[in-house]
Structure 1
């Protein structure tokens, strides 16, 4: 069975333009994302899905020079971009991954895929339903291609099409969902990169391991040892887009 990790990437960002190519620890953040995802044992391969516009040519150049496959498609209709990437590469299960989440964990990827494979009745597996419990940036989904096709065909909500899993999260009664959660609710810990402060915080974690592979739990130990002012939280007020949209 072909299980494809699809890393979505683009240079456009209001708060931190070009963040996916910004230096993390001597290499572009995107390459760190790919390196960590590449340690997942259950993925058959990785592809970067990026917008088909000139502004993102630099991303393709980095991928090409590092032997990484790319697929180009719609910028804002992320559901369409990922679905077409999956079809082009013959994926049977899709694991969408985000290029601004360099702390993504290969063990969590493997867990999502395993739970989906172990449950033939499940349409997809996620660690963010009914509510996220892992740190922001450790969200992971594994989606059967048939399920992704239904979402691609039926979702007419522009907001949710900007998120691969949008239609699935908004219609839990339509899809059978396999889930798993963090033992402790850490959903307000911002481990994804949206600002320079985020990038500096994540860089501190990577530098602690000096190029060695590390798990998300080891990253958590570093995070918890950091000064309080460098690990901002929102005191349980963080709201994901799909919790507020009708």
Structure 2
């Protein structure tokens, strides 16, 4: 892995229909959600570069400032065509693999990221993730994409939801789902944690992150946070929010456009 260039790209924007400017909100004393997300990413042992892929929206400079303060790069691209934003952000860095994460997952686990990267490299995959089968908590979503595969998706994907959500074209055309274009595998876990929520789409989600940090600190593993939620369900009001609601809305728009 030493000779491979692995670029982490996290998407972050100030605009959000459900919770505007969510990544700028404080999750701990003086610490923004985006800053915590980036700090946890930097615990990875395998990354070469981290890029915050943001947009040209008003106040996006606040995202750039946080990226700079955390010592990572930033890039501005399309608000809607996020696949293009990822491609343009990465192309000049000549990566071997892209790791896609999202900044509304402040408690992302770097050890888990490294496991998915290792899965991709050791099995010579075009795509590896822990979301082909959703066993892990919402908020621990990790996708590792071979650069040539991302480039092919960028060239060939036409449907709006495929462009907005970056990887559906690859997933749908992978051998994991009966396709022939991409070789893919999923990282599994013995127990099923998919009902646990530690992502931030709504204010109640932010309260959950703040509570977890207050109770456990900001450096625990995904499993530590999950176990705490499972054993203290009465402390959290967000655990019934629908997973992947944004992607489901995009699919609906696709259907309505025909």
TM-score by length of 2: 0.87
Q: How does 1:215-234 map to 2 (within 5 A)?
A: 215-228=221-234, 230=236, 232-234=238-240
Query: Does the 8 A contact of 2:196 with 2:226 survive in 1?
Result: no
Q: How does 1:23-172 map to 2 (within 5 A)?
A: 23-26=26-29, 27-120=31-124, 122-129=125-132, 131-172=133-174
In 1, Cα distance between the equivalents of 2:206 and 2:243?
Answer: 19
2:192 aligned partner: 185
In 1, Cα distance between the equivalents of 2:100 and 2:184?
Answer: 16
In 2, Cα distance between the equivalents of 1:239 and 1:2?
Answer: 30
In 1, Cα distance between the equivalents of 2:249 and 2:117?
Answer: 25
Aligned length: 242
Seen in structure 2, the aligned counterparts of structure 1 residues 13 and 192 have a Cα distance that, compared at 3 Å, is same
TM-score by length of 1: 0.91
Which moved further from structure 2: 92-101 or 161-170?
161-170
Which runs of no fewer than 5 residues in structure 1 stay unpaired?
A: none
Deviation at 1:242, TM superposition (A): 6.8
Which runs of no fewer than 5 residues in structure 2 stay unpaired?
A: none
The runs of at least 4 consecutive aligned structure 1 residues that moved more than 3 Å come to 231-235, 237-246
In 2, Cα distance between the equivalents of 1:19 and 1:243?
Answer: 19
Query: Does the 8 A contact of 2:6 with 2:98 survive in 1?
Result: yes
Secondary structure of residue in 2 paired with 1:40: coil
The one-character-per-residue Cα deviations of 1:199-239 (angstroms, maximum 9, x if unpaired) are: 0111111122335x21111111221232436154449x756
Deviation at 1:149, TM superposition (A): 0.4
